[in-house]
Structure 1
Protein backbone atom coordinates (compact mmCIF):
# COMPACT_ATOMS: atom_id res chain seq x y z
CA UNK A 1 0.00 0.00 0.00
CA UNK A 2 2.81 2.36 0.91
CA UNK A 3 4.61 1.46 -2.32
CA UNK A 4 1.50 2.27 -4.35
CA UNK A 5 1.17 5.64 -2.60
CA UNK A 6 4.77 6.46 -3.39
CA UNK A 7 4.29 5.47 -7.02
CA UNK A 8 1.15 7.61 -7.29
CA UNK A 9 2.91 10.58 -5.69
CA UNK A 10 5.87 10.20 -8.02
CA UNK A 11 3.59 10.01 -11.06
CA UNK A 12 1.75 13.13 -9.93
CA UNK A 13 5.05 14.99 -9.51
CA UNK A 14 6.21 13.89 -12.95
CA UNK A 15 2.98 15.17 -14.50
CA UNK A 16 3.40 18.50 -12.71
CA UNK A 17 6.95 18.71 -14.06
CA UNK A 18 5.75 17.86 -17.56
CA UNK A 19 2.95 20.39 -17.87
CA UNK A 20 4.64 23.13 -15.83
CA UNK A 21 7.67 22.74 -18.07
CA UNK A 22 5.62 22.96 -21.26
CA UNK A 23 3.65 26.00 -20.09
CA UNK A 24 6.80 27.76 -18.92
CA UNK A 25 8.58 26.96 -22.16
CA UNK A 26 5.79 28.60 -24.13
CA UNK A 27 5.96 31.61 -21.80
CA UNK A 28 9.73 31.81 -22.18
CA UNK A 29 9.42 31.83 -25.97
CA UNK A 30 6.84 34.62 -25.73
CA UNK A 31 9.21 36.72 -23.62
CA UNK A 32 11.85 36.35 -26.32
CA UNK A 33 9.35 37.37 -29.00
CA UNK A 34 8.47 40.52 -27.05
CA UNK A 35 12.18 41.26 -26.50
CA UNK A 36 12.53 41.42 -30.33
CA UNK A 37 16.27 40.75 -30.17
CA UNK A 38 16.32 37.38 -31.90
CA UNK A 39 14.69 33.98 -31.39
CA UNK A 40 15.91 30.40 -31.35
CA UNK A 41 15.99 28.75 -34.83
CA UNK A 42 12.63 26.98 -34.65
CA UNK A 43 10.84 30.09 -33.41
CA UNK A 44 12.53 32.11 -36.16
CA UNK A 45 10.83 29.70 -38.57
CA UNK A 46 7.51 29.89 -36.71
CA UNK A 47 7.59 33.68 -36.71
CA UNK A 48 8.46 33.79 -40.40
CA UNK A 49 5.55 31.52 -41.28
CA UNK A 50 3.23 33.53 -39.02
CA UNK A 51 4.13 36.74 -40.86
CA UNK A 52 3.17 35.23 -44.21
CA UNK A 53 0.02 33.42 -43.12
CA UNK A 54 -1.55 35.75 -40.60
CA UNK A 55 -1.78 32.83 -38.15
CA UNK A 56 -0.49 33.42 -34.62
CA UNK A 57 3.05 32.22 -33.91
CA UNK A 58 1.75 29.84 -31.24
CA UNK A 59 -0.65 28.13 -33.63
CA UNK A 60 2.09 27.95 -36.25
CA UNK A 61 4.23 26.20 -33.64
CA UNK A 62 1.42 23.70 -33.06
CA UNK A 63 1.03 23.09 -36.79
CA UNK A 64 4.76 22.67 -37.44
CA UNK A 65 5.03 20.34 -34.46
CA UNK A 66 2.22 18.18 -35.80
CA UNK A 67 3.81 18.03 -39.27
CA UNK A 68 7.19 17.11 -37.81
CA UNK A 69 5.53 14.40 -35.75
CA UNK A 70 4.28 12.81 -38.99
CA UNK A 71 7.92 12.40 -40.02
CA UNK A 72 8.43 10.09 -37.04
CA UNK A 73 6.52 7.32 -38.83
CA UNK A 74 9.21 6.42 -41.40
CA UNK A 75 11.88 6.89 -38.71
CA UNK A 76 10.09 4.40 -36.44
CA UNK A 77 10.03 6.79 -33.52
CA UNK A 78 7.38 6.24 -30.85
CA UNK A 79 5.78 9.32 -29.29
CA UNK A 80 5.01 9.53 -25.60
CA UNK A 81 2.59 11.60 -23.55
CA UNK A 82 5.14 14.40 -23.44
CA UNK A 83 5.50 14.34 -27.22
CA UNK A 84 1.81 14.86 -27.94
CA UNK A 85 1.39 17.34 -25.10
CA UNK A 86 4.40 19.28 -26.37
CA UNK A 87 2.77 19.81 -29.76
CA UNK A 88 -0.20 21.63 -28.26
CA UNK A 89 0.71 23.08 -24.87
CA UNK A 90 3.84 25.05 -25.81
CA UNK A 91 2.18 26.91 -28.69
CA UNK A 92 -1.01 27.66 -26.77
CA UNK A 93 0.98 28.89 -23.76
CA UNK A 94 3.06 31.06 -26.06
CA UNK A 95 -0.01 32.72 -27.58
CA UNK A 96 -1.61 33.20 -24.16
CA UNK A 97 1.50 34.89 -22.77
CA UNK A 98 1.84 37.12 -25.84
CA UNK A 99 -1.78 38.17 -25.33
CA UNK A 100 -0.93 39.36 -21.82
CA UNK A 101 2.35 41.12 -22.62
CA UNK A 102 2.41 44.43 -24.50
CA UNK A 103 5.25 45.09 -26.95
CA UNK A 104 7.95 47.17 -25.20
CA UNK A 105 10.11 49.58 -27.20
CA UNK A 106 12.84 50.49 -24.73
CA UNK A 107 16.02 48.41 -24.70
CA UNK A 108 15.97 48.84 -20.94
CA UNK A 109 12.90 46.60 -20.91
CA UNK A 110 13.66 44.35 -23.89
CA UNK A 111 17.08 43.17 -22.69
CA UNK A 112 15.78 41.98 -19.28
CA UNK A 113 12.87 40.29 -21.12
CA UNK A 114 15.36 38.40 -23.31
CA UNK A 115 17.45 37.31 -20.33
CA UNK A 116 14.36 36.29 -18.37
CA UNK A 117 13.04 34.33 -21.34
CA UNK A 118 16.28 32.39 -21.77
CA UNK A 119 16.62 31.59 -18.06
CA UNK A 120 12.95 30.57 -17.89
CA UNK A 121 13.59 28.33 -20.88
CA UNK A 122 16.32 26.60 -18.89
CA UNK A 123 13.95 26.05 -15.96
CA UNK A 124 11.25 24.76 -18.31
CA UNK A 125 13.72 22.38 -19.94
CA UNK A 126 14.75 20.97 -16.59
CA UNK A 127 11.13 20.40 -15.61
CA UNK A 128 10.16 18.79 -18.90
CA UNK A 129 13.14 16.47 -19.20
CA UNK A 130 13.01 15.27 -15.59
CA UNK A 131 9.34 14.33 -16.13
CA UNK A 132 10.57 11.64 -18.53
CA UNK A 133 7.48 11.41 -20.73
CA UNK A 134 9.23 11.36 -24.09
CA UNK A 135 10.92 13.73 -26.55
CA UNK A 136 9.34 16.68 -28.25
CA UNK A 137 8.50 16.20 -31.94
CA UNK A 138 11.41 18.26 -33.31
CA UNK A 139 13.98 16.58 -31.09
CA UNK A 140 12.59 13.15 -31.85
CA UNK A 141 13.14 13.96 -35.52
CA UNK A 142 16.77 14.72 -34.74
CA UNK A 143 17.43 11.52 -32.80
CA UNK A 144 15.48 9.48 -35.36
CA UNK A 145 17.66 10.81 -38.18
CA UNK A 146 20.73 10.15 -36.06
CA UNK A 147 19.77 6.51 -35.58
CA UNK A 148 18.73 5.94 -39.20
CA UNK A 149 21.66 7.69 -40.88
CA UNK A 150 24.43 6.86 -38.44
CA UNK A 151 25.49 10.51 -38.44
CA UNK A 152 26.45 12.13 -35.16
CA UNK A 153 23.90 13.99 -33.08
CA UNK A 154 25.96 17.13 -33.55
CA UNK A 155 25.98 16.83 -37.35
CA UNK A 156 22.25 16.07 -37.61
CA UNK A 157 21.44 18.79 -35.10
CA UNK A 158 23.50 21.37 -36.94
CA UNK A 159 21.98 20.46 -40.30
CA UNK A 160 18.43 20.79 -38.99
CA UNK A 161 19.14 24.02 -37.09
CA UNK A 162 20.91 25.73 -39.99
CA UNK A 163 18.12 24.74 -42.41
CA UNK A 164 15.34 25.88 -40.08
CA UNK A 165 17.14 29.12 -39.24
CA UNK A 166 17.85 29.93 -42.90
CA UNK A 167 14.26 29.30 -44.00
CA UNK A 168 12.90 31.29 -41.07
CA UNK A 169 15.26 34.20 -41.78
CA UNK A 170 14.23 34.31 -45.44
CA UNK A 171 10.59 34.37 -44.34
CA UNK A 172 11.25 37.34 -42.07
CA UNK A 173 11.78 35.69 -38.68
CA UNK A 174 13.76 37.59 -36.05
CA UNK A 175 17.48 36.69 -35.96
CA UNK A 176 19.81 38.65 -33.68
CA UNK A 177 21.86 38.69 -30.55
CA UNK A 178 19.13 36.75 -28.76
CA UNK A 179 19.56 33.88 -31.21
CA UNK A 180 23.26 33.63 -30.42
CA UNK A 181 22.80 34.12 -26.67
CA UNK A 182 20.16 31.40 -26.55
CA UNK A 183 22.34 28.94 -28.44
CA UNK A 184 25.30 29.56 -26.13
CA UNK A 185 23.46 29.57 -22.82
CA UNK A 186 20.60 27.09 -23.04
CA UNK A 187 22.85 24.04 -22.70
CA UNK A 188 24.55 25.12 -19.46
CA UNK A 189 21.25 26.40 -18.07
CA UNK A 190 19.48 23.15 -18.89
CA UNK A 191 22.28 21.10 -17.32
CA UNK A 192 22.07 23.18 -14.14
CA UNK A 193 18.31 22.93 -13.78
CA UNK A 194 18.34 19.22 -14.62
CA UNK A 195 20.50 18.69 -11.54
CA UNK A 196 18.36 20.97 -9.39
CA UNK A 197 15.02 19.50 -10.46
CA UNK A 198 15.95 15.83 -10.86
CA UNK A 199 13.92 13.26 -8.95
CA UNK A 200 15.81 11.13 -6.44
CA UNK A 201 16.75 7.84 -8.10
CA UNK A 202 17.61 4.42 -6.67
CA UNK A 203 21.36 3.93 -6.52
CA UNK A 204 21.29 1.53 -9.50
CA UNK A 205 19.78 4.27 -11.68
CA UNK A 206 22.07 7.14 -10.71
CA UNK A 207 24.31 7.02 -13.71
CA UNK A 208 22.91 10.32 -14.96
CA UNK A 209 22.96 11.43 -18.54
CA UNK A 210 24.40 13.82 -21.04
CA UNK A 211 22.69 17.00 -22.12
CA UNK A 212 23.43 18.02 -25.67
CA UNK A 213 22.21 21.55 -26.36
CA UNK A 214 20.67 22.17 -29.73
CA UNK A 215 20.36 25.69 -30.99
CA UNK A 216 16.86 25.83 -29.61
CA UNK A 217 16.11 22.61 -27.80
CA UNK A 218 18.32 20.88 -25.22
CA UNK A 219 18.57 17.10 -25.32
CA UNK A 220 18.89 14.73 -22.41
CA UNK A 221 20.35 11.35 -23.20
CA UNK A 222 19.87 9.20 -20.06
CA UNK A 223 22.07 6.24 -19.28
CA UNK A 224 19.44 3.84 -20.61
CA UNK A 225 19.77 5.34 -24.07
CA UNK A 226 16.21 6.64 -24.46
CA UNK A 227 16.32 10.26 -25.49
CA UNK A 228 14.17 12.66 -23.51
CA UNK A 229 14.15 16.06 -25.13
CA UNK A 230 12.56 19.47 -24.79
CA UNK A 231 10.81 21.18 -27.54
Structure 2
Protein backbone atom coordinates (compact mmCIF):
# COMPACT_ATOMS: atom_id res chain seq x y z
CA UNK A 1 0.00 0.00 0.00
CA UNK A 2 1.36 3.43 -0.86
CA UNK A 3 2.27 5.81 1.90
CA UNK A 4 -0.46 8.17 0.74
CA UNK A 5 -3.12 5.58 1.48
CA UNK A 6 -1.47 4.01 4.52
CA UNK A 7 -4.13 3.90 7.22
CA UNK A 8 -1.98 2.80 10.15
CA UNK A 9 1.55 4.22 10.48
CA UNK A 10 4.60 2.09 11.23
CA UNK A 11 5.70 3.07 14.73
CA UNK A 12 8.60 2.27 17.02
CA UNK A 13 6.38 -0.29 18.75
CA UNK A 14 5.00 -1.94 15.60
CA UNK A 15 5.45 -5.71 15.90
CA UNK A 16 7.31 -7.80 13.33
CA UNK A 17 4.38 -10.22 12.96
CA UNK A 18 0.76 -10.69 14.01
CA UNK A 19 1.64 -13.20 16.75
CA UNK A 20 5.12 -12.13 17.88
CA UNK A 21 5.75 -11.51 21.60
CA UNK A 22 7.90 -8.38 21.69
CA UNK A 23 8.20 -6.32 24.85
CA UNK A 24 7.61 -2.91 23.28
CA UNK A 25 4.64 -3.83 21.10
CA UNK A 26 3.07 -6.04 23.78
CA UNK A 27 3.38 -3.24 26.36
CA UNK A 28 1.66 -0.71 24.09
CA UNK A 29 -0.97 -3.28 23.12
CA UNK A 30 -1.87 -4.09 26.73
CA UNK A 31 -1.80 -0.47 27.90
CA UNK A 32 -4.02 0.56 24.99
CA UNK A 33 -6.59 -2.11 25.81
CA UNK A 34 -6.56 -1.07 29.47
CA UNK A 35 -7.34 2.51 28.40
CA UNK A 36 -10.12 1.33 26.06
CA UNK A 37 -11.60 -0.83 28.82
CA UNK A 38 -11.60 2.07 31.26
CA UNK A 39 -13.20 4.32 28.64
CA UNK A 40 -15.88 1.73 27.98
CA UNK A 41 -16.50 1.47 31.71
CA UNK A 42 -16.89 5.22 32.10
CA UNK A 43 -19.44 5.25 29.29
CA UNK A 44 -21.40 2.55 31.04
CA UNK A 45 -21.19 4.34 34.41
CA UNK A 46 -22.52 7.56 32.87
CA UNK A 47 -25.88 5.83 32.42
CA UNK A 48 -26.56 8.01 29.39
CA UNK A 49 -26.75 5.23 26.84
CA UNK A 50 -24.51 2.36 25.80
CA UNK A 51 -22.21 2.23 22.78
CA UNK A 52 -23.99 1.61 19.43
CA UNK A 53 -22.81 -2.00 19.12
CA UNK A 54 -24.24 -2.72 22.57
CA UNK A 55 -27.54 -1.18 21.47
CA UNK A 56 -27.52 -3.48 18.45
CA UNK A 57 -26.85 -6.45 20.73
CA UNK A 58 -29.81 -5.41 22.88
CA UNK A 59 -32.07 -5.18 19.84
CA UNK A 60 -30.96 -8.53 18.42
CA UNK A 61 -31.42 -10.13 21.85
CA UNK A 62 -34.93 -8.76 22.12
CA UNK A 63 -35.91 -9.97 18.68
CA UNK A 64 -34.20 -13.33 19.05
CA UNK A 65 -35.33 -14.08 22.58
CA UNK A 66 -31.84 -14.79 23.96
CA UNK A 67 -29.25 -13.00 26.11
CA UNK A 68 -27.32 -9.88 25.17
CA UNK A 69 -24.03 -11.74 25.59
CA UNK A 70 -25.02 -14.35 23.01
CA UNK A 71 -26.27 -11.59 20.70
CA UNK A 72 -22.93 -9.78 21.00
CA UNK A 73 -21.05 -13.00 20.20
CA UNK A 74 -23.26 -13.65 17.17
CA UNK A 75 -22.72 -10.12 15.88
CA UNK A 76 -18.94 -10.40 16.36
CA UNK A 77 -18.87 -13.62 14.35
CA UNK A 78 -20.92 -12.07 11.56
CA UNK A 79 -18.71 -8.98 11.47
CA UNK A 80 -15.58 -11.13 11.26
CA UNK A 81 -17.07 -13.02 8.31
CA UNK A 82 -16.97 -9.67 6.51
CA UNK A 83 -13.20 -9.69 7.05
CA UNK A 84 -12.63 -12.33 4.37
CA UNK A 85 -13.31 -10.16 1.30
CA UNK A 86 -11.34 -7.37 3.01
CA UNK A 87 -8.33 -9.74 3.43
CA UNK A 88 -7.86 -9.08 7.13
CA UNK A 89 -5.96 -11.39 9.48
CA UNK A 90 -6.39 -12.43 13.09
CA UNK A 91 -3.57 -11.65 15.48
CA UNK A 92 -2.54 -11.35 19.10
CA UNK A 93 -4.34 -8.02 19.23
CA UNK A 94 -7.61 -9.67 18.21
CA UNK A 95 -7.43 -12.09 21.14
CA UNK A 96 -6.26 -9.56 23.73
CA UNK A 97 -8.91 -7.09 22.53
CA UNK A 98 -11.61 -9.45 23.74
CA UNK A 99 -9.96 -10.42 27.03
CA UNK A 100 -8.29 -7.26 28.37
CA UNK A 101 -11.01 -4.77 27.46
CA UNK A 102 -13.67 -6.91 29.11
CA UNK A 103 -11.49 -7.29 32.22
CA UNK A 104 -10.93 -3.56 32.71
CA UNK A 105 -14.51 -2.73 31.78
CA UNK A 106 -15.51 -4.91 34.74
CA UNK A 107 -12.87 -3.43 37.06
CA UNK A 108 -13.87 0.14 36.18
CA UNK A 109 -17.58 -0.40 36.72
CA UNK A 110 -16.89 -2.26 39.97
CA UNK A 111 -14.55 0.23 41.64
CA UNK A 112 -15.26 3.67 40.12
CA UNK A 113 -18.26 5.43 41.71
CA UNK A 114 -20.98 6.34 39.24
CA UNK A 115 -21.60 10.10 38.98
CA UNK A 116 -24.94 11.38 40.22
CA UNK A 117 -25.13 14.82 38.58
CA UNK A 118 -25.87 15.33 34.90
CA UNK A 119 -22.61 17.28 34.52
CA UNK A 120 -20.63 14.44 36.04
CA UNK A 121 -22.32 11.91 33.78
CA UNK A 122 -21.55 14.02 30.70
CA UNK A 123 -17.92 14.32 31.80
CA UNK A 124 -17.75 10.52 32.02
CA UNK A 125 -19.15 10.27 28.49
CA UNK A 126 -16.56 12.60 26.96
CA UNK A 127 -13.63 11.15 28.91
CA UNK A 128 -14.86 7.67 28.01
CA UNK A 129 -15.03 8.47 24.29
CA UNK A 130 -11.57 10.09 24.42
CA UNK A 131 -10.00 7.08 26.16
CA UNK A 132 -11.76 4.66 23.81
CA UNK A 133 -10.58 6.52 20.70
CA UNK A 134 -6.98 7.14 21.76
CA UNK A 135 -6.57 3.59 23.04
CA UNK A 136 -7.96 2.22 19.77
CA UNK A 137 -5.53 4.25 17.68
CA UNK A 138 -2.49 3.15 19.68
CA UNK A 139 -3.34 -0.55 19.73
CA UNK A 140 -3.98 -0.59 15.96
CA UNK A 141 -0.50 0.84 15.31
CA UNK A 142 0.97 -2.29 16.92
CA UNK A 143 -0.13 -4.08 13.71
CA UNK A 144 -1.04 -7.29 15.53
CA UNK A 145 -4.64 -7.62 14.42
CA UNK A 146 -7.78 -5.72 15.29
CA UNK A 147 -10.93 -6.48 17.22
CA UNK A 148 -13.95 -7.51 15.12
CA UNK A 149 -15.45 -4.01 14.77
CA UNK A 150 -12.17 -2.12 14.45
CA UNK A 151 -11.08 -4.62 11.82
CA UNK A 152 -14.15 -3.83 9.74
CA UNK A 153 -13.29 -0.13 9.95
CA UNK A 154 -9.63 -0.61 9.00
CA UNK A 155 -10.50 -3.05 6.21
CA UNK A 156 -12.97 -0.67 4.58
CA UNK A 157 -10.51 2.23 4.85
CA UNK A 158 -7.71 0.21 3.28
CA UNK A 159 -9.92 -1.25 0.56
CA UNK A 160 -11.57 1.99 -0.57
CA UNK A 161 -9.07 4.60 0.69
CA UNK A 162 -11.71 6.33 2.78
CA UNK A 163 -11.03 8.42 5.87
CA UNK A 164 -11.34 6.71 9.23
CA UNK A 165 -13.58 9.45 10.65
CA UNK A 166 -16.13 9.05 7.87
CA UNK A 167 -16.06 5.24 7.84
CA UNK A 168 -16.27 4.78 11.62
CA UNK A 169 -19.00 7.40 11.99
CA UNK A 170 -21.03 5.80 9.18
CA UNK A 171 -20.68 2.36 10.78
CA UNK A 172 -21.59 3.56 14.28
CA UNK A 173 -24.59 5.61 13.13
CA UNK A 174 -25.89 2.71 11.00
CA UNK A 175 -25.44 0.25 13.87
CA UNK A 176 -27.10 2.67 16.30
CA UNK A 177 -30.11 3.16 14.02
CA UNK A 178 -30.47 -0.58 13.39
CA UNK A 179 -30.24 -1.33 17.10
CA UNK A 180 -32.86 1.31 17.87
CA UNK A 181 -35.23 -0.10 15.23
CA UNK A 182 -34.80 -3.55 16.78
CA UNK A 183 -35.76 -2.25 20.21
CA UNK A 184 -32.46 -1.18 21.79
CA UNK A 185 -32.34 1.83 24.11
CA UNK A 186 -30.48 4.88 22.78
CA UNK A 187 -29.26 7.72 25.00
CA UNK A 188 -27.27 10.95 24.68
CA UNK A 189 -24.07 9.06 25.35
CA UNK A 190 -24.84 6.70 22.46
CA UNK A 191 -25.25 9.59 20.05
CA UNK A 192 -22.07 11.33 21.26
CA UNK A 193 -20.10 8.10 20.86
CA UNK A 194 -21.49 7.36 17.38
CA UNK A 195 -20.75 10.84 16.04
CA UNK A 196 -17.33 11.39 17.62
CA UNK A 197 -15.43 8.12 18.12
CA UNK A 198 -14.26 7.87 14.51
CA UNK A 199 -12.84 11.38 14.56
CA UNK A 200 -11.05 10.80 17.87
CA UNK A 201 -9.39 7.71 16.36
CA UNK A 202 -8.47 9.59 13.18
CA UNK A 203 -7.07 12.58 15.08
CA UNK A 204 -5.03 10.30 17.33
CA UNK A 205 -3.55 8.52 14.31
CA UNK A 206 -2.74 11.89 12.72
CA UNK A 207 -0.87 12.98 15.85
CA UNK A 208 1.10 9.72 15.86
CA UNK A 209 1.83 10.02 12.14
CA UNK A 210 3.12 13.58 12.55
CA UNK A 211 5.38 12.79 15.51
CA UNK A 212 8.80 11.71 14.14
CA UNK A 213 9.85 10.45 17.55
CA UNK A 214 7.05 7.85 17.46
CA UNK A 215 7.55 6.60 13.90
CA UNK A 216 9.76 3.81 12.65
CA UNK A 217 11.99 5.46 10.06
CA UNK A 218 14.05 2.39 9.23
* TM-score (normalizing by structure 1): 0.63
Matched residue count: 194
Matches within 5 A, 1:183-222: 183-194=194-205, 195=207, 200-203=214-217
Matches within 5 A, 1:54-203: 54-55=67-68, 61=72, 64-73=75-84, 75-144=86-155, 160-194=171-205, 195=207, 200-203=214-217
The answer to whether the 8 Å contact 2:46/2:115 transfers is: yes
2-structure distance, mates of 1:145, 1:196: 21
Q: Which has the higher contact order (CA 8 A, sep 6+)?
A: 2
- Give how far 1:151 is off: 9.4
The answer to whether the 8 Å contact 2:169/2:195 transfers is: no
- Specify which structure has the higher proportion of strand: 1
- Give how far 1:116 is off: 1.7
Gaps of 5+ in 1: 1-6, 205-231
Q: Secondary structure at the match of 1:131?
A: coil
What is the match of residue 223 of structure 1? Answer: none
The answer to whether the 8 Å contact 2:172/2:195 transfers is: no
* TM-score (normalizing by structure 2): 0.65
RMSD value, Cα? 3.8
Q: Secondary structure at the match of 2:90?
A: coil
1:43 paired residue among 54, 59, 74: 54
What is the match of residue 20 of structure 1? Answer: 31
- Give how far 1:156 is off: 6.6
